[in-house]
């Protein structure tokens, strides 16, 4: 069932929270390996607000949030219950694959069908991310 609103409730996707053990370590992976940029980095009252985004996709992005409780630490890398955390689109999956392998990322499940090519990889903490290149008519 599709429901439309005369006036949209939201204007954009803001941040997806990613629990991490170390924000600097996670920043290095997401920025230096995956190409995210820092949208906002501020420390307030001992708490760091580190928001990352993809070039040309602002304001949507990731909020790398340091896990502070035992329960949050248990969820690092598993906050989606073993399902993908993100799907990232690319125009060049071969380049993405090479870059991930060069940086020692765990890559698996490279697939191709009539409309796309994709692969799965894990971030530093085991979060599953899918990189996909659309190849069909809607690409």
Tell me the pLDDT of the chain (139 aa) as tens digits.
Answer: 566 668 888 888 899 999 999 999 999 999 999 999 999 999 999 889 999 999 888 789 999 999 999 999 999 999 999 999 999 999 999 999 999 999 999 999 999 999 999 999 999 999 999 999 999 776 6
Q: Give the number of other CB atoms < 10 A from CB of residue 25.
A: 13
One DSSP character per residue, 61-130 reads EEEEEE--SHHHHHHTTTTTTTS-SEEEE-S-HHHHHHHHHHTT--EEEEEE-SSEEEEEEE-TT--EEE
């Amino acid at each position: 069932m599709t429901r439309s609103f005369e006036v949209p409730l939201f204007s954009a996707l803001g941040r997806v929270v990613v629990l991490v053990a170390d924000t600097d370590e996670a920043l290095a992976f997401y920025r230096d390996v995956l190409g995210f940029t820092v949208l906002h980095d501020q420390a307030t009252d001992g708490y760091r607000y580190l928001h990352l985004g993809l070039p040309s996709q602002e304001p949507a992005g990731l909020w790398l949030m340091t896990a502070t409780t035992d329960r949050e630490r248990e969820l690092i890398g598993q906050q989606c219950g073993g399902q993908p955390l993100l799907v990232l689109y690319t125009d060049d999956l071969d380049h993405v694959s090479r870059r991930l392998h060069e940086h020692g990322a765990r890559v698996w499940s490279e697939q191709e069908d009539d409309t796309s090519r994709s692969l799965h990889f894990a971030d530093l903490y085991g979060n599953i991310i899918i990189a996909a290149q659309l190849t069909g008519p809607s690409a």
